[in-house]
């Protein structure tokens, strides 16, 4: 049993670590983007998080629904039915194109949308610029994520990692250059940050297209021959994928709502919250990589009719992920000031610097408090998703978000004048309750009986 467990850890690291590094590359891209913007202008930093997360909020439904093809590919791989891999991928591609068109149309609502949100006028102007550009380019993000599932669903995650690293290495210098106007590039500020992000995702998507659609993969997986629209397979993908998309949408909506409500408390509160959420991404995005990895392993196990292997993969992934999380908790508790200062201009007034650092330290302690529960939630949600239990995830996410986050934060802040720390207390309780519900579902084991393949 010991050797089997050690072997399972190695298998998890083989599949999940490249996805973690891939998500880490994306996180690092966003992290440096925030640093460049923070040093360029605190208004740009304050605007980038609400605009960026609002754009991703709408895109998250399409990413979650189309990205559910990862589970289909994993289960067909486990069932040794390779020809269905290409057919499944194409159904997700069609949905991705549809999502990209809708996102581009959403850009035309940007002025009214951010006027409704109600941040300060100078912040609104920057939010509109950032949001519009991201919406125009979101189709590339949706399609690139979908295409990556061809590799991640089959457990070949190094390919995903390498492509995302290339995108990151392309993004960071371009980001710096067109934000600040160096190396012959124009100074575009927050507009430049958005353009660099979109250009990077276009590059990532283009690389995946070149890698996937070739004679070798067509012979093995019918990646070209199975390109026709398949109503039956598309409907089945949507049956499981739409709840997955709604769940991902609600996950992002929870944090979007939180950011937007905090923005009503004041510019300083919004800036510090954006800063701390950017640091929090150091945990969230790698956890998402582990979640994708365990979803693949569980999908392959369930496709092969081996639910016990799925349980072992789930628990072993949680052990590895939590080891990483505890390191971050120590970092956030004992070394918060260097992390916060990375986002702040060097010439900031000492009084303003002290206020932001003091607030940031307290908020990082909130992050340290909820990080364990959030990580458990993300990992075991990936397990349930890999088994096809997406409907339960959707409903549990919906009810928890409404009753433990939306209602208390809205009522507390708007009706009773509760402040920043009350809002952060609510999000901590919300993540604890969601963790409890998801882990209980996993422990009871009903997910083992679900079948998504014909």
pLDDT tens readout for residues 80-131 = 998 899 999 999 999 999 999 999 999 999 999 888 877 788 888 899 999 9
Structural contact between residues 356 and 344, judged by C-beta atoms closer than 8 angstroms? yes
pLDDT of residue 4: 45
Top-confidence residue, 27 or 391: 391
Distance CA 227, CA 223 (A): 7
pLDDT of 1 above 50: no
Helix (H, G, I), strand (E, B) or coil at 156: coil
Instruction: From 440, 418, 83, select the one nearest 261 (Cα to Cα).
Output: 418
Cβ 211 vs Cβ 148: under 8 Å: no
Give the rounded percent of residues in the chain with a pLDDT score beyond 70.
98
Residue 171 has pLDDT above 80, yes or no: yes
Looking at residue 351, its pLDDT comes to 85
pLDDT of residue 3: 42
pTM score, whole prediction:
0.85
Count of CA atoms in the C-beta half-sphere (13 A) of 232: 4
The sign of the torsion formed by the CA atoms of 307, 311, 314, 320 equals: negative
Q: Which two tokens stand for residue 78?
A: 């486990």
Residues with Cβ within 8 Å of residue 146, at least 6 apart in sequence: 66, 67, 69, 89, 92, 93, 95, 96
For the four alpha carbons of 197, 200, 206 and 209, in that order, the dihedral sign comes to negative
pLDDT category of residue 255 using cuts at 50, 70 and 90: confident
Residue range 37-47: average pLDDT?
83
Confidence of residue 228 (pLDDT cuts 50, 70, 90): very high
The average pLDDT across 186-201 equals 90
Q: Cα–Cα distance between 245 and 385 in angstroms, integer? A: 11
pLDDT tops 50 at residue 241: yes
Q: Can you tell me the mean pLDDT for 6-27?
A: 81
Q: Please state, in angstroms and rounded to a whole number, the distance separating the CA atoms of residues 73 and 99.
A: 21
Provide mean pLDDT across the span 319-329: 91
Q: Is the pLDDT of residue 341 over 70?
A: yes
The residue length of the chain stands at 454
Q: What is the mean pLDDT of the chain?
A: 90
49 in Cβ contact with 38 (< 8 Å): no
- pLDDT above 50 (res 292): yes
Q: Which is nearest to 286 in space by CA: 101, 103, 21? A: 21
Give me the mean pLDDT over the 440-444 stretch: 95
Percent of the chain with pLDDT over 90: 60
> Which stretch of 152-161, 204-213, 343-352 has the lowest confidence by average pLDDT?
343-352
pLDDT band at 5 (very low <50, low <70, confident <90, very high): low
For the stretch 383-424, pLDDT in tens is 999 999 999 999 999 999 999 999 999 999 989 989 999 999
In terms of C-beta distances under 8 Å and separation of at least 24 residues, what long-range contacts does 156-159 make, across chains too? 157/14, 157/15, 157/16, 157/17, 157/18, 157/19, 157/22, 157/293, 157/296, 158/18, 159/211
**Dihedral angle computed from the Cα positions of residues 214, 215, 221 and 222, in that order, rounded to the nearest 10 degrees:** 100
């Amino acid at each position: 049993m010991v050797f089997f467990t050690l072997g399972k850890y190695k298998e998890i690291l083989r599949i999940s670590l490249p996805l973690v590094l891939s998500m880490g590359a994306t996180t690092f891209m966003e992290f440096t983007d925030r640093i460049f913007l923070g040093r360029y202008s605190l208004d740009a930093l304050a605007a980038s998080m609400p605009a960026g997360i609002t754009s991703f909020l709408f895109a998250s439904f399409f990413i979650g629904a189309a990205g559910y093809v990862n589970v289909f590919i994993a289960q067909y791989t486990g069932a040794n039915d390779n020809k269905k891999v290409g057919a499944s991928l194409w159904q997700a591609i069609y949905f991705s194109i549809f999502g990209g068109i809708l996102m581009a149309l959403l850009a035309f609502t940007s002025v009214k949308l951010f006027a409704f949100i109600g941040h300060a006028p100078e912040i609104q102007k920057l939010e509109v610029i950032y949001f519009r550009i991201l919406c125009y380019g979101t189709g590339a993000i949706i399609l690139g994520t979908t295409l990556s599932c061809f590799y991640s669903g089959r457990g070949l995650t190094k390919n995903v990692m390498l492509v995302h690293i290339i995108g990151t290495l392309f993004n960071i210098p371009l980001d710096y250059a067109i934000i600040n106007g160096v190396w012959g590039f124009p100074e575009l500020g927050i507009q430049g940050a958005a353009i660099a992000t979109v250009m990077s995702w276009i590059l990532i998507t283009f690389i995946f297209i070149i890698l996937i659609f070739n004679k070798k993969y067509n012979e093995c997986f019918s990646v070209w021959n199975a390109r026709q629209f398949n109503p039956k397979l598309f409907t089945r993908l949507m049956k499981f994928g739409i709840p997955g998309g709604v769940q991902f949408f609600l996950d992002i909506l929870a944090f979007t709502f939180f950011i937007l409500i905090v923005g009503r408390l004041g510019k300083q509160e919004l800036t510090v919250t954006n800063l701390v959420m950017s640091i929090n991404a150091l945990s969230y995005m790698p956890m998402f990589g582990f979640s994708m990895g365990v979803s693949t392993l569980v999908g392959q196990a369930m496709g092969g009719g081996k639910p016990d292997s799925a349980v072992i993969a789930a628990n072993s992934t949680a052990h590895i992920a939590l080891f990483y999380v505890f390191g971050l908790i120590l970092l956030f508790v004992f070394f918060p000031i260097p992390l916060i200062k990375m986002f702040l201009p060097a010439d900031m007034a000492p009084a303003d610097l002290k206020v932001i650092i003091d607030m940031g330290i307290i908020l990082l302690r909130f992050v340290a408090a909820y990080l364990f529960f959030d990580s458990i939630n993300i990992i075991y949600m990936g397990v349930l998703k890999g088994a096809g239990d997406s409907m339960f995830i959707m409903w549990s996410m919906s009810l928890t978000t409404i009753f433990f986050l939306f209602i208390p934060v809205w009522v507390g802040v708007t009706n009773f004048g509760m402040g920043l720390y009350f809002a952060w207390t609510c999000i901590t309780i919300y993540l604890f309750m969601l963790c409890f519900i998801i882990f209980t579902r996993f422990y009871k084991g009903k997910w083992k009986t679900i079948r998504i393949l014909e």
